[in-house]
Amino acid sequence: MSPFSRKLAPPWLASTREFCREHAIVIAAWGPRGLVVEAKSPERAAEIGAQLANLGFQAIADEADEYAGLLTLSHPD
């Protein structure tokens, strides 16, 4: 099997997915140190950023995200 055929999930992903499901937060993408979620307005982005800060995430300011209705967050683990 190719090493590029499968992503290894970061340790925080399972609990973050559950949290997002419970709070109606749609995950658009994830990586080893980050998460991208849908945020259709700046107010929703701020709300989600505050909620996910409790799980160790930090919002990354990006004008392109705001235009696309997304929010990118980084995780230290």
The structural domain count of the chain equals 1
Is 47 domain-assigned? yes
67 domain-assigned: yes
List the chain pLDDT tens, one digit each, 77 residues.
445 546 688 999 999 999 999 999 999 999 999 999 999 999 999 999 999 999 999 999 888 998 999 999 999 98
Q: pTM of the prediction?
A: 0.86
Instruction: Give, in order, the Cα–Cα distances in Å from 4 to each of 10, 14, 35, 41, 45.
Output: 16, 21, 19, 35, 32
Residue 55 resides in a domain: yes
Domain that holds residue 59: 13-74
For residue 43, being part of any structural domain is answered with yes
CB atoms within 10 A of CB 44: 15
Tell me if 3 is assigned to some domain. no
Could you tell me if residue 5 is inside a domain? no
Residue 1 lies in a domain: no
